[in-house]
Amino acid sequence: MAPEKVIEQWTKYFNNSDIEGILNLYNDYATLLPTFLPKLLNSHSGIRDYFDVAFKGEASVEIDIKDAITKELSDNVFLITGSYVFCLGSKAGQKYLSWYSFLIDLSEDSPIKHHHSSRVPFEFDLSS
């Protein structure tokens, strides 16, 4: 399986509120720095609780994997970075542009070793 397929599967599980499917993608030792929670998660129970709240909040995500940057770090280990848009149904459909980074090890049945997600901080845009 290509690393991009893991992200596509993650997106499918997220948008279908499939807690077991998404949790099975995360390695037993995975860490998650979530978009909407100010703490690092490093257990399946913490990751489960985070996604459970997101799904109860009617969260969905829009992602275009073609725009991602994929780097092979070693055999079967990839870093994928890009952006996605979260939509929160519980917040009147508010959309939040966010960054992501996934560390994926394709030699593992549960390939996500690390996932960092954060909102794009437009208030700190130095480009203009």
Q: For residue range 37-46, what is the model confidence (pLDDT) as tens digits?
A: 889 999 999 9
- The CA R_g of the chain, rounded to the nearest whole Å, is 14
Q: Is residue 12 part of a domain?
A: yes
Give the three-state DSSP class for 39.
coil
Q: What is the pLDDT of residue 20?
A: 97
Could you tell me if residue 127 is inside a domain?
A: no
Q: What is the CATH number of the domain that holds 10?
A: 3.10.450.50
According to the model, what pLDDT value does residue 63 have? 94
Of 107, 44, 47, 100, nearest to 73 by C-alpha is 107
Is 73 within the bounds of a domain? Answer: yes
Give the other-Cβ count within 10 Å of 84's Cβ: 21
* pLDDT above 60: residue 23: yes
Q: What pLDDT digit, counting tens, does each position of 42-90 carry?
A: 999 999 999 999 999 899 999 988 889 999 999 999 999 999 998 888 7
51, part of any domain: yes
Domain that holds residue 74: 3-118
Residue 126 lies in a domain: no
